Amino acid sequence: MRQAGSWRPDDAQLGWIIENRVDEAYILSWPGQLETYVPLHDTGGFDRARAPLGSYDFRLDQIKGTASVYLKNQIEIGFTTPTLHPNRNLDFTFVDYLLPTRELIDPAWLVPSDKLAEVCSATGTGGSREPRWLFTADRSGLARDRAAKYQVALRELAAARRWSILPRKSAAVGVSANPIETGMFFERHFDATFLEAASGDEVLMASAPDNFSRHRLAFSKESGRWASIAIHGSAASNSSNLIQANIHAATFFPHPRHYILVQHYDRRRAEWYPWSWFIPSTDFARLAAGKGPYLLFTTTLNPQRVNRWLPYRIATASAATAFQAALHHPASRRAA
């Protein structure tokens, strides 16, 4: 039997633990609700994206941590930066994790991605093609090392990210969701088609937890542009051939780079309906029905019928590429 505190996780487990501890620090250091997004594929670009609820003011994180013990207050972290594209909203968060107590040690260091070379020492490629860096710092706050001015208390981590929006005074309540299994089915189908069409520049992220109806967030590593999408699906069929999607008004915040995707899967035939609807959220806010807790999208599966949603109809097979096109364009535009 292991003694308490004697077990040491491997590098992958330790990275996962530290990233989740940093998530916890952000949640506890922000007085409102934070949206958090986690990459669905290992791109080396970002570990997290965060924004105050409904603000779309995203901040990106590369999280680097260590559980190694050094003399006195010293900390050292060696790391690589594959596919790094400095971005004014991308910071490196450096933290020290104490295994015996299972907690992060104050302080952290929040280094802008375009200042990395000023704070870290280049140590060569280490046999790989990726740049290798060494971050060194002193926890005491007394040393005048290169990292000193980027030191931040864990309780102030979120405040240090320069969000200009004030948190909501009260949390959104009464948020409901579609059945988890059905929602996950449509989201995973979208993930697969997005990754099939990806060029390698895109980072696809999932909200964690999935509370705020913006299911996926994508970034371009090269340009820094982003787009988000809410994925809604119907698997029920009826004699009137109508389908409906309900969007909770309390967490719906229109933005030119946020989109709504509605799809239908015929459960009896086990096949996708050939048409989907890809709608800028600003247009959805104008066209959706409902004045209560939900905004309602209702349309017919009869392709001959004309209604206000017809201009947003696209081939289901092209839904992911339509979203990628929206991501790469400087300004949002209606899908054709």
Residue 316: per-residue pLDDT: 95
187 or 166: which leads in pLDDT = 187
272 neighbors 265 (Cβ within 8 angstroms): yes
179: pLDDT strictly greater than 50: no
Question: Has this prediction a pTM greater than 0.85?
Answer: no
Query: How far is it, in rounded angstroms, from Cα 271 to Cα 267?
Result: 7
Mean pLDDT of 50-72: 89
Residue 128 pLDDT > 70, yes or no?
no
State how far the alpha carbon of 21 is from the alpha carbons of 46, 70, 74, 98, 114, in Å: 16, 21, 21, 11, 25
* Domain ranges for the chain: 11-161, 180-328
pLDDT > 90? residue 297: yes
pLDDT at residue 312 above 90? yes
Number of Cβ atoms within 10 Å of the Cβ of 293:
13
* Mean pLDDT lowest among 42-56, 62-76, 155-169: 155-169
Provide the mean pLDDT of the chain: 84
62-102: pLDDT as tens digits: 999 998 877 778 899 999 887 778 889 999 999 999 888 88
Instruction: Compare 169 and 303 and report the one with higher pLDDT.
Output: 303
- The share of the chain scoring above pLDDT 90, in percent, equals 45
Which pLDDT value is given to residue 236? 74
At 171, the pLDDT band (50, 70, 90 cuts) reads: very low
SS3 97: strand
pLDDT at 328: 94
CATH code for residues 11-161: 3.40.1350.10
Q: 180-328: same fold as 11-161? A: yes
On the question of a cis peptide bond just before residue 209, with omega within 30 degrees of 0, the verdict is yes
Distance from C-alpha of 169 to C-alpha of 232, rounded to nearest angstrom: 29
pLDDT, residue 308, reads 94
pLDDT band with cut points at 50, 70 and 90 for residue 177: very low
| pLDDT tops 60 at residue 273 | yes
Kind plus residue range of the DSSP H or E element containing 80: strand 74-80
CA distances from 274 to 42, 83, 192, 264, 271 (A): 31, 36, 17, 9, 9
**Averaged over 198-213, what is the pLDDT?**
85
Q: Is the pLDDT of residue 121 over 50?
A: yes
Name 39's bridge partners. 205
Least confident of 105-119, 201-215, 295-309: 201-215
> How much is the pLDDT for 29?
87
| CATH architecture group of domain 180-328 | 3-Layer(aba) Sandwich (3.40)
Q: What is the mean pLDDT of residues 269-274?
A: 86
> What per-residue confidence (pLDDT) applies to 165?
65
